[in-house]
């Protein structure tokens, strides 16, 4: 598609593109608009502006709708999942990038299996395993399986990043008599900061958005994360659309913020991973 010399056609194309972009984000704009309406405003039509913004909907969602609890739970789950997954990914990734051990290919195949098989396929045994350990309705039920599910991607992502590090630097360190833990800590990890932060970004979004694990492994409202809270909130508040939409904004606002701040890193990581 060479640069079009046909000005009206090019202009028309751009108008269509921007229209499409606008339509794509319309659900989010409607969400924002409705979240600051009163119940009476909603009856005037979805596209009508409210007389003045009703921010108290957010307070209602936050307190009466328990979004304070759900938000806190999401934070409590996402931080250890991201931190531990990146840490374990560094260790196993280090092993797959540099070390030899028996059954290497088999272990790699077993790990990639975990990336292909969706959680839906093993959720039933996982549920009974967690029940056996008495972990249903605990933070551990939300955190530990999520870390385990993140290990294959973390390992492969970090191992392939480590393989691109200059071999000479590591060889020089070995010749200087440095131990492996020391080299990992002082040389590999500092060089891996960009890859690690991209990985952390992916893990944050996946964990924040996870639905099945908290849906099956937790049924106590005190442990629900945001997407789950939203589902049960909908059951209770379906008639109160402004508060429901305020709740939805609370769920997606941290995602939009993260996305806007780290957009380039996120997309670069996505396309690097996708074309591998």
Partner 1 sequence: MKRSALDGSPQTNFIYLLPGLLLYTAFVFGPIVAALGLSLTSWDGLTMPRWVGLGNYADLFSDSRFYIALRNNAELMIFYCVLPLVLGITLAACVWNLKQREQLALRTFLFLPYIMPTAVLGIIWAWLYNPAFGPFNQFLRAIGLGRFALPWLGDFNFVLPAVGIVATWYFFGFCMVIFLTGIQRIDPSLFDAAKVDGASARKTFFWITLPLLLPEIRVVLLLTVIASIKSFDLIFTMTRGGPANATLVPNIYMYQLGFELNRFGAAAAIAIVGALLTFAINYAIHRLVGSRSKGMA
**Can you give the C-alpha Rg of the chain in angstroms?**
24
- Which parts of 102-121 interact with partner 1 (CB under 8 A)? 102, 105, 107-111, 113-114, 116-118, 120-121
Provide, rounded to whole angstroms, the least separation between the CB of residue 148 and partner 1: 4
* Residue 250 token pair: 């609370």
Q: Collapsing DSSP states into helix, strand and coil, what is residue 103?
A: coil
Choice between 54 and 145, CB closer to partner 1: 145
Letters for 172-191 (x = contact with partner 1 by CB under 8 A, - = none) are --x-----x--x--------
* Residue number, 116 or 193, with CB nearest to partner 1: 116
Which contacts (CB < 8 Å, 24+ apart) does range 166-172 have? 170/98
**CB distance 201 to 262 below 8 Å:** yes
Q: How many CB atoms lie within 10 A of CB 132?
A: 9
Cβ 218 vs Cβ 142: under 8 Å: yes
96 binds partner 1 (CB under 8 A): yes
49 is a contact residue toward partner 1 (CB under 8 A): no
Instruction: Identify residues 224-253 at the interface with partner 1 (CB under 8 A).
Output: 226-228, 230-231, 234, 241, 244-245, 248, 251-252
> Which residues, numbered 144-163, are part of the site for partner 1 (CB under 8 A)?
144-145, 147-149, 151-152, 154-156, 159-160, 163
Q: Whose Cβ is closer to partner 1: residue 38's or residue 258's?
A: 258
Does the footprint of partner 1 cover residue 212 (CB under 8 A)?
A: yes
* Structure-block tokens of residue 232: 């049960």
d(C-alpha 66, C-alpha 75), whole Å: 14
Stretch that binds partner 1, among 50-58, 60-68, 94-102, 192-200 (CB under 8 A): 94-102
For partner 1, the closer CB: 46 or 75: 46
- DSSP readout, 20-53? HHHHHHHHHHHHHHHHT--HHHHHT-TTSPPSS-
Shortest CA distance to 76 belongs to which of 17, 140, 121, 130?
140
**In contact, 229 and 66? CB cutoff 8 Å:** yes
- List the one residue from 15, 46, 222, 261 that touches partner 1 (CB under 8 A): 46
- Please work out the total of residues on this chain that contact partner 1, with binding judged by CB under 8 A: 106
Question: Is position 99 an interface residue for partner 1 (rule: CB under 8 A)?
Answer: yes
- Could you give the CA distance from residue 197 to residue 214 in angstroms, rounded to a whole number? 25
Check binding of 86 to partner 1 (CB under 8 A): no
């Amino acid at each position: 598609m060479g640069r079009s010399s046909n000005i009206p056609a090019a202009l028309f194309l751009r108008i269509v593109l921007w229209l499409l972009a606008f339509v794509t984000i319309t659900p989010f704009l409607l969400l924002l608009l409705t979240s600051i309406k009163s119940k009476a405003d909603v009856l005037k039509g979805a596209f009508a502006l409210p007389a003045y913004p009703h921010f108290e909907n957010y307070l209602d969602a936050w307190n009466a709708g328990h979004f304070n609890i759900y938000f806190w739970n999401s934070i409590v789950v996402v931080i250890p999942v991201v931190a531990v997954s990146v840490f374990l990914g560094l260790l196993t990734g280090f092993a797959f990038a540099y070390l030899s051990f028996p059954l290497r290919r088999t272990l790699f195949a077993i790990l990639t299996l975990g990336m292909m098989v969706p959680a839906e396929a093993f959720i039933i045994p996982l549920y009974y395993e967690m029940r056996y350990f008495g972990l249903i309705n605990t933070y551990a039920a939300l955190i530990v399986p999520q870390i385990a599910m993140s290990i294959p991607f973390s390992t492969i992502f970090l191992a392939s990043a480590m393989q691109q590090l200059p071999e000479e630097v590591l060889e020089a360190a070995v010749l200087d008599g440095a131990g492996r833990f020391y080299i990992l800590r002082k040389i590999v990890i500092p060089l891996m900061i960009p890859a690690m932060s991209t990985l952390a970004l992916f893990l944050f979004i996946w964990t924040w958005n996870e639905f099945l694990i908290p849906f099956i492994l937790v049924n106590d409202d005190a442990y629900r994360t945001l997407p789950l809270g939203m589902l049960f909130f909908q059951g209770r508040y379906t008639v109160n659309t402004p508060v429901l939409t305020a709740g939805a904004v609370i769920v997606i606002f941290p995602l939009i913020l993260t996305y806007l701040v780290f957009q380039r890193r996120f997309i670069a990581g996505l396309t690097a991973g996708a074309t591998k």
